[in-house]
Chain A
Amino acid sequence: MAGRYEIRFSGAGGQGLILAGVIMAEAASIYQGIQAVQSQSYGPEARGGASKSEVIISDTAIDYPKVTKCDALLALTQEACDKYSHDLKEGGVLLIDSDLVLRQPEGNFKVTKFNITNTAKNEVGREIVTNIVALGAMVALTGVVSKENAEKAVLARVPEAFLELNKKAFNIGYDKAMAAKA
Protein backbone atom coordinates (compact mmCIF):
# COMPACT_ATOMS: atom_id res chain seq x y z
CA MET A 1 0.00 0.00 0.00
CA ALA A 2 1.09 3.58 -0.54
CA GLY A 3 0.53 6.24 2.12
CA ARG A 4 -2.35 6.54 4.54
CA TYR A 5 -5.53 4.54 4.44
CA GLU A 6 -8.24 5.95 6.69
CA ILE A 7 -11.10 3.86 8.03
CA ARG A 8 -13.98 4.91 10.25
CA PHE A 9 -16.32 2.51 12.08
CA SER A 10 -19.49 4.28 13.20
CA GLY A 11 -22.80 3.48 14.83
CA ALA A 12 -24.36 3.79 18.24
CA GLY A 13 -22.55 3.54 21.55
CA GLY A 14 -22.62 -0.04 22.81
CA GLN A 15 -22.44 -1.71 19.39
CA GLY A 16 -18.78 -2.59 19.82
CA LEU A 17 -17.41 -0.29 17.13
CA ILE A 18 -14.42 0.78 19.15
CA LEU A 19 -13.43 -2.84 19.55
CA ALA A 20 -13.92 -3.44 15.81
CA GLY A 21 -11.49 -0.59 15.14
CA VAL A 22 -9.01 -1.89 17.69
CA ILE A 23 -9.01 -5.33 16.09
CA MET A 24 -8.56 -3.88 12.60
CA ALA A 25 -5.60 -1.84 13.87
CA GLU A 26 -4.08 -4.81 15.69
CA ALA A 27 -4.40 -6.90 12.53
CA ALA A 28 -2.34 -4.26 10.70
CA SER A 29 0.14 -3.38 13.44
CA ILE A 30 0.80 -6.70 15.16
CA TYR A 31 0.01 -9.32 12.51
CA GLN A 32 0.58 -7.56 9.18
CA GLY A 33 3.62 -5.61 10.42
CA ILE A 34 2.59 -2.21 9.06
CA GLN A 35 1.79 0.98 10.98
CA ALA A 36 -1.60 1.60 12.58
CA VAL A 37 -3.17 4.04 14.99
CA GLN A 38 -6.65 3.67 16.45
CA SER A 39 -8.58 6.45 18.12
CA GLN A 40 -12.16 7.02 19.10
CA SER A 41 -14.78 9.53 19.90
CA TYR A 42 -17.89 8.85 21.89
CA GLY A 43 -20.39 10.67 24.04
CA PRO A 44 -20.76 10.53 27.81
CA GLU A 45 -23.62 8.00 27.49
CA ALA A 46 -22.90 4.32 28.20
CA ARG A 47 -25.20 3.31 25.36
CA GLY A 48 -26.73 5.14 22.43
CA GLY A 49 -25.53 8.37 20.86
CA ALA A 50 -23.34 8.39 17.77
CA SER A 51 -19.99 6.70 18.32
CA LYS A 52 -16.98 6.32 16.04
CA SER A 53 -13.69 4.53 16.02
CA GLU A 54 -11.02 5.58 13.54
CA VAL A 55 -8.12 3.56 12.23
CA ILE A 56 -5.27 4.95 10.18
CA ILE A 57 -3.14 2.35 8.44
CA SER A 58 0.07 3.20 6.63
CA ASP A 59 3.34 1.74 5.46
CA THR A 60 5.14 4.75 6.96
CA ALA A 61 4.98 6.52 10.36
CA ILE A 62 1.59 8.04 11.15
CA ASP A 63 1.51 11.62 12.44
CA TYR A 64 -2.08 12.82 12.53
CA PRO A 65 -4.03 10.03 14.24
CA LYS A 66 -7.48 11.02 12.99
CA VAL A 67 -9.26 10.83 9.66
CA THR A 68 -8.50 13.63 7.19
CA LYS A 69 -10.29 12.23 4.09
CA CYS A 70 -12.08 9.01 4.86
CA ASP A 71 -11.24 6.08 2.56
CA ALA A 72 -13.75 3.67 4.06
CA LEU A 73 -16.75 4.21 6.29
CA LEU A 74 -18.96 1.76 8.13
CA ALA A 75 -22.30 3.15 9.32
CA LEU A 76 -24.54 0.92 11.42
CA THR A 77 -27.13 3.58 12.23
CA GLN A 78 -28.80 6.43 10.36
CA GLU A 79 -27.57 8.96 12.93
CA ALA A 80 -23.96 7.82 12.50
CA CYS A 81 -24.28 7.82 8.73
CA ASP A 82 -25.65 11.37 8.72
CA LYS A 83 -23.02 12.59 11.16
CA TYR A 84 -19.88 10.88 9.88
CA SER A 85 -20.19 10.60 6.08
CA HIS A 86 -19.34 14.24 5.31
CA ASP A 87 -15.64 13.60 4.73
CA LEU A 88 -15.90 10.30 2.87
CA LYS A 89 -13.81 10.80 -0.20
CA GLU A 90 -15.02 10.41 -3.75
CA GLY A 91 -14.87 6.77 -4.73
CA GLY A 92 -14.54 5.78 -1.07
CA VAL A 93 -15.94 2.58 0.41
CA LEU A 94 -19.27 2.89 2.24
CA LEU A 95 -20.73 -0.08 4.10
CA ILE A 96 -24.18 0.35 5.62
CA ASP A 97 -26.70 -1.76 7.44
CA SER A 98 -29.53 -1.99 4.91
CA ASP A 99 -32.21 -2.36 7.59
CA LEU A 100 -31.12 0.61 9.67
CA VAL A 101 -29.65 3.13 7.25
CA LEU A 102 -32.43 4.07 4.84
CA ARG A 103 -31.12 7.44 3.64
CA GLN A 104 -27.81 7.08 1.88
CA PRO A 105 -25.50 10.07 1.66
CA GLU A 106 -25.29 11.65 -1.75
CA GLY A 107 -22.03 11.26 -3.58
CA ASN A 108 -19.95 8.99 -5.73
CA PHE A 109 -19.12 6.17 -3.32
CA LYS A 110 -18.62 2.41 -3.61
CA VAL A 111 -21.66 1.46 -1.56
CA THR A 112 -22.15 -2.01 -0.13
CA LYS A 113 -25.18 -2.80 1.97
CA PHE A 114 -26.60 -5.79 3.71
CA ASN A 115 -28.56 -6.46 6.89
CA ILE A 116 -25.50 -6.55 9.18
CA THR A 117 -27.31 -6.51 12.54
CA ASN A 118 -29.89 -9.08 11.49
CA THR A 119 -27.19 -11.30 10.04
CA ALA A 120 -25.53 -11.36 13.45
CA LYS A 121 -28.81 -12.02 15.19
CA ASN A 122 -30.33 -14.62 12.89
CA GLU A 123 -27.52 -16.27 10.92
CA VAL A 124 -24.71 -16.18 13.50
CA GLY A 125 -27.12 -16.43 16.39
CA ARG A 126 -26.12 -13.51 18.63
CA GLU A 127 -26.72 -9.82 18.00
CA ILE A 128 -23.70 -9.02 20.17
CA VAL A 129 -21.34 -10.06 17.34
CA THR A 130 -22.70 -7.39 14.97
CA ASN A 131 -19.36 -5.62 15.26
CA ILE A 132 -17.44 -8.72 14.19
CA VAL A 133 -19.75 -9.33 11.21
CA ALA A 134 -19.16 -5.69 10.23
CA LEU A 135 -15.41 -6.07 10.75
CA GLY A 136 -15.30 -9.14 8.47
CA ALA A 137 -17.12 -7.12 5.84
CA MET A 138 -14.78 -4.12 6.19
CA VAL A 139 -11.73 -6.38 5.86
CA ALA A 140 -13.20 -7.75 2.62
CA LEU A 141 -14.09 -4.33 1.23
CA THR A 142 -10.90 -2.44 2.12
CA GLY A 143 -8.29 -5.11 1.44
CA VAL A 144 -5.66 -3.31 3.55
CA VAL A 145 -5.12 -6.27 5.86
CA SER A 146 -5.28 -9.91 4.83
CA LYS A 147 -8.21 -12.06 5.86
CA GLU A 148 -5.84 -14.39 7.75
CA ASN A 149 -4.26 -11.60 9.79
CA ALA A 150 -7.62 -10.07 10.60
CA GLU A 151 -8.99 -13.40 11.75
CA LYS A 152 -5.94 -13.95 13.96
CA ALA A 153 -6.50 -10.53 15.53
CA VAL A 154 -10.19 -11.32 16.16
CA LEU A 155 -9.42 -14.63 17.83
CA ALA A 156 -6.68 -13.10 20.00
CA ARG A 157 -9.24 -10.68 21.48
CA VAL A 158 -12.00 -13.17 22.24
CA PRO A 159 -12.51 -15.43 25.30
CA GLU A 160 -12.04 -19.09 24.48
CA ALA A 161 -15.72 -20.01 24.90
CA PHE A 162 -16.66 -17.59 22.13
CA LEU A 163 -13.98 -18.37 19.55
CA GLU A 164 -16.27 -20.30 17.21
CA LEU A 165 -19.05 -17.73 17.47
CA ASN A 166 -16.70 -14.91 16.51
CA LYS A 167 -14.98 -16.90 13.80
CA LYS A 168 -18.39 -17.61 12.26
CA ALA A 169 -19.41 -13.96 12.56
CA PHE A 170 -16.19 -12.76 10.94
CA ASN A 171 -16.46 -15.20 8.04
CA ILE A 172 -20.12 -14.57 7.34
CA GLY A 173 -19.44 -10.83 7.29
CA TYR A 174 -16.49 -11.32 4.99
CA ASP A 175 -18.38 -13.57 2.58
CA LYS A 176 -21.52 -11.41 2.49
CA ALA A 177 -19.51 -8.31 1.69
CA MET A 178 -17.62 -10.12 -1.05
CA ALA A 179 -20.91 -11.31 -2.54
CA ALA A 180 -22.58 -7.91 -2.21
CA LYS A 181 -19.55 -6.17 -3.69
CA ALA A 182 -19.53 -8.43 -6.78
Chain B
Amino acid sequence: MAKKVAFLQGNEAAAHGALYAGCKFFGGYPITPSTEVAEVMSAELPKVGGKFIQMEDEIGAMAALIGASLTGTKVLTSTSGPGLSLKQENIGYACITEVPCVIFNVMRGGPSTGMPTGPSQSDVMCAKWGTHGDHPAICLVPASVQEVFEETVRAFNLAEKYRTPVMIMPDEIVAHMRERIVFPEPGELEVIDRTGPSVPPEQYKPYDTSFGDIPPLAAFGSGYKFHVTGLNKMQDGFPTTKAEIVQAEEERQVRKVEANKADIMKWEEYLVDDAEIVVVAFGSTSRSARFAVDEARKAGIKAGLFRLITFWPFPEERLLELSKKVKAFISPEMNLGMCAGVIKGCIEGNAPVLGIFRVDGEPVNPGQILDKMKEVK
Protein backbone atom coordinates (compact mmCIF):
# COMPACT_ATOMS: atom_id res chain seq x y z
CA MET B 1 0.00 0.00 0.00
CA ALA B 2 1.25 3.45 -0.85
CA LYS B 3 2.26 5.51 2.15
CA LYS B 4 0.24 8.52 3.19
CA VAL B 5 1.68 11.72 1.78
CA ALA B 6 0.76 15.29 2.63
CA PHE B 7 1.96 18.85 2.13
CA LEU B 8 2.34 20.21 5.65
CA GLN B 9 3.84 22.92 7.81
CA GLY B 10 6.59 22.05 10.27
CA ASN B 11 4.20 22.83 13.12
CA GLU B 12 1.58 20.44 11.78
CA ALA B 13 4.22 17.75 11.32
CA ALA B 14 5.23 18.18 14.97
CA ALA B 15 1.69 17.48 16.14
CA HIS B 16 1.47 14.39 13.95
CA GLY B 17 4.88 13.24 15.19
CA ALA B 18 3.70 13.62 18.79
CA LEU B 19 0.60 11.53 18.08
CA TYR B 20 2.77 8.88 16.38
CA ALA B 21 4.93 8.75 19.52
CA GLY B 22 1.83 8.13 21.64
CA CYS B 23 1.32 11.59 23.14
CA LYS B 24 -2.01 11.72 24.96
CA PHE B 25 -1.86 15.12 26.66
CA PHE B 26 -1.26 18.66 25.47
CA GLY B 27 -1.25 21.63 27.80
CA GLY B 28 -0.37 25.00 26.37
CA TYR B 29 -1.10 28.60 25.67
CA PRO B 30 -1.23 29.74 22.04
CA ILE B 31 1.52 31.96 20.69
CA THR B 32 2.74 32.90 17.23
CA PRO B 33 4.54 31.20 15.50
CA SER B 34 3.74 27.89 17.18
CA THR B 35 -0.06 27.99 17.41
CA GLU B 36 -0.65 25.42 14.64
CA VAL B 37 0.75 22.70 16.92
CA ALA B 38 -1.98 23.45 19.48
CA GLU B 39 -4.60 23.69 16.73
CA VAL B 40 -3.84 20.22 15.39
CA MET B 41 -3.53 18.68 18.86
CA SER B 42 -6.87 20.16 19.95
CA ALA B 43 -8.54 18.55 16.95
CA GLU B 44 -6.73 15.20 17.04
CA LEU B 45 -6.20 14.33 20.71
CA PRO B 46 -9.89 13.77 21.54
CA LYS B 47 -10.05 11.23 18.68
CA VAL B 48 -7.42 9.04 20.35
CA GLY B 49 -8.74 9.38 23.90
CA GLY B 50 -6.28 12.13 24.78
CA LYS B 51 -6.79 15.43 26.56
CA PHE B 52 -6.11 18.96 25.33
CA ILE B 53 -6.13 21.84 27.80
CA GLN B 54 -5.59 25.46 26.94
CA MET B 55 -4.14 26.70 30.21
CA GLU B 56 -4.30 30.20 31.70
CA ASP B 57 -0.65 30.88 30.86
CA GLU B 58 2.65 29.23 29.99
CA ILE B 59 3.87 28.33 33.46
CA GLY B 60 0.45 26.84 34.16
CA ALA B 61 0.87 24.79 31.01
CA MET B 62 4.19 23.41 32.27
CA ALA B 63 2.55 22.56 35.60
CA ALA B 64 -0.22 20.73 33.77
CA LEU B 65 2.38 18.82 31.78
CA ILE B 66 4.23 17.66 34.89
CA GLY B 67 1.02 16.52 36.57
CA ALA B 68 -0.23 14.70 33.49
CA SER B 69 3.12 13.03 32.87
CA LEU B 70 3.18 11.72 36.45
CA THR B 71 0.04 9.73 35.65
CA GLY B 72 2.10 7.77 33.10
CA THR B 73 1.06 9.83 30.07
CA LYS B 74 3.26 11.18 27.29
CA VAL B 75 2.92 14.96 27.25
CA LEU B 76 3.59 17.90 24.93
CA THR B 77 3.45 21.67 25.06
CA SER B 78 4.25 24.16 22.33
CA THR B 79 5.34 27.75 22.62
CA SER B 80 7.71 30.43 21.37
CA GLY B 81 10.38 32.65 22.98
CA PRO B 82 8.31 34.73 25.44
CA GLY B 83 6.40 31.60 26.44
CA LEU B 84 9.64 29.67 26.90
CA SER B 85 10.80 32.36 29.32
CA LEU B 86 7.58 32.03 31.31
CA LYS B 87 7.86 28.25 31.51
CA GLN B 88 11.35 28.21 32.96
CA GLU B 89 10.56 27.79 36.66
CA ASN B 90 8.54 24.66 36.02
CA ILE B 91 11.03 23.34 33.46
CA GLY B 92 13.50 23.31 36.34
CA TYR B 93 10.89 21.56 38.46
CA ALA B 94 10.54 18.85 35.78
CA CYS B 95 14.35 18.51 35.68
CA ILE B 96 14.76 17.96 39.42
CA THR B 97 11.67 15.77 39.78
CA GLU B 98 12.77 13.88 36.64
CA VAL B 99 9.43 13.99 34.88
CA PRO B 100 9.46 13.26 31.13
CA CYS B 101 7.95 16.00 28.97
CA VAL B 102 8.44 17.48 25.51
CA ILE B 103 8.58 21.22 24.95
CA PHE B 104 8.20 22.34 21.34
CA ASN B 105 9.54 25.88 21.04
CA VAL B 106 9.48 27.80 17.77
CA MET B 107 12.27 30.35 17.69
CA ARG B 108 11.13 33.88 16.80
CA GLY B 109 12.87 37.24 17.22
CA GLY B 110 13.54 38.29 20.81
CA PRO B 111 14.15 39.21 23.57
CA SER B 112 10.69 39.86 25.01
CA THR B 113 7.90 40.24 22.45
CA GLY B 114 10.56 40.96 19.82
CA MET B 115 9.44 40.05 16.33
CA PRO B 116 6.51 37.62 16.65
CA THR B 117 6.38 36.61 13.00
CA GLY B 118 10.10 36.83 12.25
CA PRO B 119 12.50 33.86 12.31
CA SER B 120 15.30 33.53 14.83
CA GLN B 121 17.64 30.96 16.36
CA SER B 122 18.25 32.85 19.56
CA ASP B 123 16.68 30.47 22.11
CA VAL B 124 19.38 27.80 21.99
CA MET B 125 21.15 29.05 25.11
CA CYS B 126 17.80 29.41 26.88
CA ALA B 127 17.27 25.70 26.19
CA LYS B 128 20.33 24.93 28.30
CA TRP B 129 20.52 27.74 30.84
CA GLY B 130 17.00 29.22 30.89
CA THR B 131 16.13 27.58 34.16
CA HIS B 132 18.56 28.09 37.02
CA GLY B 133 20.84 25.55 38.57
CA ASP B 134 22.77 22.60 37.15
CA HIS B 135 20.50 20.31 35.20
CA PRO B 136 20.52 18.08 32.13
CA ALA B 137 19.58 19.65 28.78
CA ILE B 138 18.50 18.02 25.56
CA CYS B 139 17.60 20.21 22.59
CA LEU B 140 16.84 19.08 19.03
CA VAL B 141 16.94 21.40 16.01
CA PRO B 142 15.26 19.92 12.91
CA ALA B 143 15.66 21.47 9.45
CA SER B 144 12.81 20.09 7.34
CA VAL B 145 9.15 19.21 7.73
CA GLN B 146 9.91 15.49 7.52
CA GLU B 147 12.64 15.89 10.10
CA VAL B 148 10.32 17.83 12.45
CA PHE B 149 8.04 14.77 12.47
CA GLU B 150 10.89 12.33 13.06
CA GLU B 151 12.69 14.43 15.65
CA THR B 152 9.46 15.00 17.57
CA VAL B 153 9.12 11.23 17.87
CA ARG B 154 12.75 11.08 19.00
CA ALA B 155 12.15 13.90 21.51
CA PHE B 156 9.46 11.77 23.17
CA ASN B 157 11.76 8.75 23.14
CA LEU B 158 14.58 10.67 24.82
CA ALA B 159 12.25 12.25 27.40
CA GLU B 160 10.82 8.85 28.36
CA LYS B 161 14.14 7.03 28.26
CA TYR B 162 16.07 9.56 30.34
CA ARG B 163 13.22 10.85 32.55
CA THR B 164 13.85 14.48 31.69
CA PRO B 165 12.36 17.42 29.76
CA VAL B 166 13.38 17.51 26.09
CA MET B 167 13.16 20.60 23.92
CA ILE B 168 12.66 20.58 20.20
CA MET B 169 13.29 23.95 18.66
CA PRO B 170 12.73 24.70 14.98
CA ASP B 171 13.16 28.28 13.84
CA GLU B 172 10.08 30.07 12.50
CA ILE B 173 11.03 29.24 8.90
CA VAL B 174 11.09 25.49 9.51
CA ALA B 175 7.94 25.72 11.66
CA HIS B 176 5.88 27.59 9.07
CA MET B 177 7.42 26.22 5.89
CA ARG B 178 5.38 23.69 3.96
CA GLU B 179 6.93 20.64 2.33
CA ARG B 180 5.91 17.20 1.26
CA ILE B 181 5.94 14.69 4.08
CA VAL B 182 5.70 10.92 3.86
CA PHE B 183 4.08 9.57 7.03
CA PRO B 184 5.98 6.64 8.53
CA GLU B 185 3.88 3.51 9.07
CA PRO B 186 3.22 2.44 12.66
CA GLY B 187 6.28 0.49 13.81
CA GLU B 188 8.56 2.07 11.22
CA LEU B 189 10.06 4.53 13.70
CA GLU B 190 11.13 3.38 17.14
CA VAL B 191 8.77 4.44 19.94
CA ILE B 192 10.12 4.17 23.47
CA ASP B 193 7.94 4.03 26.59
CA ARG B 194 9.20 4.82 30.07
CA THR B 195 10.29 2.03 32.36
CA GLY B 196 7.78 1.32 35.12
CA PRO B 197 8.46 -0.17 38.53
CA SER B 198 9.43 -3.83 38.89
CA VAL B 199 8.89 -3.88 42.66
CA PRO B 200 5.62 -3.81 44.64
CA PRO B 201 4.30 -0.43 45.87
CA GLU B 202 5.59 -0.84 49.43
CA GLN B 203 9.17 -1.27 48.17
CA TYR B 204 9.02 1.42 45.49
CA LYS B 205 11.18 4.54 45.65
CA PRO B 206 10.90 7.09 42.81
CA TYR B 207 14.65 7.84 42.73
CA ASP B 208 15.96 4.38 43.50
CA THR B 209 19.49 4.33 42.07
CA SER B 210 19.89 0.62 42.63
CA PHE B 211 18.24 0.49 39.20
CA GLY B 212 20.97 2.74 37.73
CA ASP B 213 21.10 6.43 36.89
CA ILE B 214 17.57 6.42 35.49
CA PRO B 215 15.23 5.02 38.13
CA PRO B 216 11.88 3.52 37.02
CA LEU B 217 8.93 5.90 37.27
CA ALA B 218 5.59 4.67 38.61
CA ALA B 219 2.33 6.20 37.42
CA PHE B 220 0.05 7.97 39.87
CA GLY B 221 -3.22 6.12 39.97
CA SER B 222 -1.62 2.71 39.53
CA GLY B 223 -1.36 1.92 43.25
CA TYR B 224 2.06 3.45 43.77
CA LYS B 225 2.45 6.58 45.86
CA PHE B 226 5.44 8.84 46.29
CA HIS B 227 6.42 12.35 47.22
CA VAL B 228 7.19 14.93 44.51
CA THR B 229 9.04 18.11 45.47
CA GLY B 230 11.23 20.78 43.93
CA LEU B 231 13.58 20.53 46.90
CA ASN B 232 16.69 18.39 46.70
CA LYS B 233 15.49 14.96 47.60
CA MET B 234 16.38 11.50 48.79
CA GLN B 235 15.67 8.26 46.94
CA ASP B 236 12.17 8.09 48.45
CA GLY B 237 11.36 11.57 47.12
CA PHE B 238 11.34 13.38 50.47
CA PRO B 239 13.48 16.52 50.94
CA THR B 240 17.01 16.45 52.26
CA THR B 241 19.89 18.87 52.83
CA LYS B 242 22.42 16.11 53.47
CA ALA B 243 25.51 17.26 51.60
CA GLU B 244 26.60 13.91 50.18
CA ILE B 245 23.11 13.03 48.96
CA VAL B 246 22.53 16.43 47.32
CA GLN B 247 25.92 16.30 45.59
CA ALA B 248 25.40 12.75 44.34
CA GLU B 249 21.85 13.40 43.15
CA GLU B 250 22.75 16.58 41.24
CA GLU B 251 25.64 14.81 39.57
CA ARG B 252 23.46 11.84 38.68
CA GLN B 253 20.79 14.04 37.09
CA VAL B 254 23.35 15.74 34.84
CA ARG B 255 25.06 12.40 34.16
CA LYS B 256 21.83 10.95 32.73
CA VAL B 257 22.52 13.04 29.63
CA GLU B 258 26.31 13.43 29.78
CA ALA B 259 26.99 9.68 30.05
CA ASN B 260 24.56 8.96 27.21
CA LYS B 261 25.68 11.67 24.79
CA ALA B 262 26.46 9.17 22.05
CA ASP B 263 22.83 8.02 22.08
CA ILE B 264 21.41 11.56 22.12
CA MET B 265 23.72 13.50 19.82
CA LYS B 266 22.88 13.47 16.14
CA TRP B 267 24.42 15.39 13.29
CA GLU B 268 24.98 15.12 9.56
CA GLU B 269 28.28 15.68 7.79
CA TYR B 270 28.10 16.74 4.15
CA LEU B 271 31.35 16.87 2.13
CA VAL B 272 33.31 17.31 5.36
CA ASP B 273 36.01 14.67 4.76
CA ASP B 274 38.29 16.80 2.57
CA ALA B 275 36.84 20.17 3.59
CA GLU B 276 39.12 23.10 4.41
CA ILE B 277 36.15 25.22 5.46
CA VAL B 278 33.41 23.66 7.56
CA VAL B 279 30.12 25.48 7.97
CA VAL B 280 28.43 24.53 11.26
CA ALA B 281 24.72 25.23 10.98
CA PHE B 282 21.30 24.07 12.08
CA GLY B 283 17.64 24.56 11.26
CA SER B 284 16.75 26.58 8.18
CA THR B 285 20.22 28.16 8.21
CA SER B 286 21.71 24.73 7.46
CA ARG B 287 19.70 24.71 4.24
CA SER B 288 21.28 28.02 3.18
CA ALA B 289 24.63 26.51 4.14
CA ARG B 290 24.13 23.39 2.06
CA PHE B 291 23.20 25.52 -0.94
CA ALA B 292 26.34 27.61 -0.36
CA VAL B 293 28.54 24.52 0.02
CA ASP B 294 27.33 23.18 -3.33
CA GLU B 295 28.02 26.53 -4.98
CA ALA B 296 31.45 26.71 -3.33
CA ARG B 297 32.40 23.25 -4.58
CA LYS B 298 31.46 24.32 -8.13
CA ALA B 299 33.85 27.25 -7.68
CA GLY B 300 36.65 24.98 -6.45
CA ILE B 301 36.39 25.89 -2.76
CA LYS B 302 36.70 22.86 -0.49
CA ALA B 303 33.74 23.51 1.77
CA GLY B 304 31.62 21.16 3.83
CA LEU B 305 28.61 21.29 6.11
CA PHE B 306 28.36 20.05 9.68
CA ARG B 307 24.65 20.09 10.37
CA LEU B 308 23.57 19.89 14.00
CA ILE B 309 20.38 17.89 14.55
CA THR B 310 20.91 17.70 18.31
CA PHE B 311 22.07 21.06 19.67
CA TRP B 312 22.37 19.93 23.30
CA PRO B 313 24.37 17.93 24.18
CA PHE B 314 26.78 19.61 21.75
CA PRO B 315 29.15 17.43 19.66
CA GLU B 316 32.29 18.87 21.25
CA GLU B 317 34.62 15.94 20.60
CA ARG B 318 33.89 15.69 16.88
CA LEU B 319 34.32 19.43 16.32
CA LEU B 320 37.59 19.36 18.26
CA GLU B 321 38.77 16.57 15.97
CA LEU B 322 37.75 18.51 12.83
CA SER B 323 39.37 21.70 14.15
CA LYS B 324 42.77 20.05 13.83
CA LYS B 325 42.49 19.78 10.07
CA VAL B 326 40.31 22.65 8.84
CA LYS B 327 41.37 26.19 7.95
CA ALA B 328 38.24 27.74 9.43
CA PHE B 329 34.73 27.18 10.69
CA ILE B 330 31.87 29.39 9.60
CA SER B 331 28.89 29.79 11.90
CA PRO B 332 25.88 31.35 10.19
CA GLU B 333 23.03 31.84 12.63
CA MET B 334 19.97 33.97 13.29
CA ASN B 335 21.33 35.37 16.58
CA LEU B 336 24.44 37.29 17.59
CA GLY B 337 26.82 34.33 17.85
CA MET B 338 25.43 31.79 20.30
CA CYS B 339 26.52 28.71 18.35
CA ALA B 340 29.84 30.33 17.38
CA GLY B 341 30.57 30.80 21.07
CA VAL B 342 29.89 27.15 21.83
CA ILE B 343 32.11 26.04 18.93
CA LYS B 344 34.94 28.27 20.18
CA GLY B 345 34.53 26.72 23.61
CA CYS B 346 35.30 23.24 22.36
CA ILE B 347 38.00 23.61 19.65
CA GLU B 348 40.82 24.89 21.86
CA GLY B 349 41.71 27.72 19.50
CA ASN B 350 42.73 25.33 16.70
CA ALA B 351 40.87 27.24 13.98
CA PRO B 352 39.11 30.58 13.60
CA VAL B 353 35.32 30.67 13.83
CA LEU B 354 33.88 33.21 11.41
CA GLY B 355 30.37 34.34 12.22
CA ILE B 356 27.48 35.53 10.10
CA PHE B 357 24.93 36.81 12.57
CA ARG B 358 21.49 38.14 11.63
CA VAL B 359 18.79 39.34 13.99
CA ASP B 360 16.80 41.44 11.51
CA GLY B 361 14.08 38.87 10.88
CA GLU B 362 15.64 37.75 7.62
CA PRO B 363 17.36 34.41 7.03
CA VAL B 364 21.10 34.12 6.45
CA ASN B 365 21.17 33.64 2.68
CA PRO B 366 23.52 31.39 0.71
CA GLY B 367 25.29 34.38 -0.88
CA GLN B 368 26.39 35.66 2.54
CA ILE B 369 27.89 32.29 3.42
CA LEU B 370 29.65 32.04 0.08
CA ASP B 371 31.12 35.53 0.54
CA LYS B 372 32.40 34.56 3.98
CA MET B 373 34.06 31.44 2.55
CA LYS B 374 35.94 33.64 0.11
CA GLU B 375 37.44 35.56 3.04
CA VAL B 376 39.20 32.42 4.29
CA LYS B 377 42.82 32.42 3.19
Contacts and interface: CB of A to CB of B under 8 A. Distances in A.
Interface residues of A, number: 20
Interface string A2-42: 00000000000000000000100110011000011111111
B178 A25 contact: yes
A36 B145 CA distance: 12
Contact of A38 (B117, B178, B287): B178
Given A42-B117, A44-B116, A65 B177 contact: yes
Given A44-B116, A63-B287, A66-B365, A30 B180 contact: yes
Given A64-B288, A68-B365, 5 more contacts: A30-B7, A30-B180, A36-B7, A43-B117, A64-B287
Nearest to B179: A37
B177 A63 contact: no
B366 interface: yes
10 contacts: A26-B7, A35-B180, A36-B7, A36-B179, A37-B178, A38-B178, A44-B32, A64-B366, A65-B287, A68-B291
A39 B145 CA distance: 12
A65 B178 CA distance: 10
B173 interface: yes
B5 A38 contact: no
B341 interface: no
A49 to B, nearest CB: 10
Interface residues of B, number: 22
Contacts of B288: 63-64
B284 A65 contact: yes
Contacts of A25: 7, 178
B206 interface: no
Contacts of A37: 177-179
A42 to B, nearest CB: 6
Interface in B4-37: 5, 7, 32
Contacts of A40: 176
B178 A66 contact: no
B367 interface: yes
B58 interface: no
Contacts, number: 55
A22 B12 CA distance: 14
Contacts of B177: 37-39, 65
B180 A29 contact: yes
A71 B32 CA distance: 30
Contact of A44 (B117, B294, B366): B117
A41 B365 contact: no
Contacts of A41: 117-118
B294 A63 contact: yes
B145 to A, nearest CB: 9
Interface string A39-75: 1111110000000000000000001111010000000
B290 interface: yes
Most buried by B among A22, A26, A35, A39: A39
A43 B367 CA distance: 25
B72 interface: no
B82 interface: no
A6 B21 CA distance: 36
Nearest to B174: A65
A63 B290 contact: yes
A44 B172 CA distance: 14
Contact of B365 (A26, A43, A64): A64
B100 interface: no
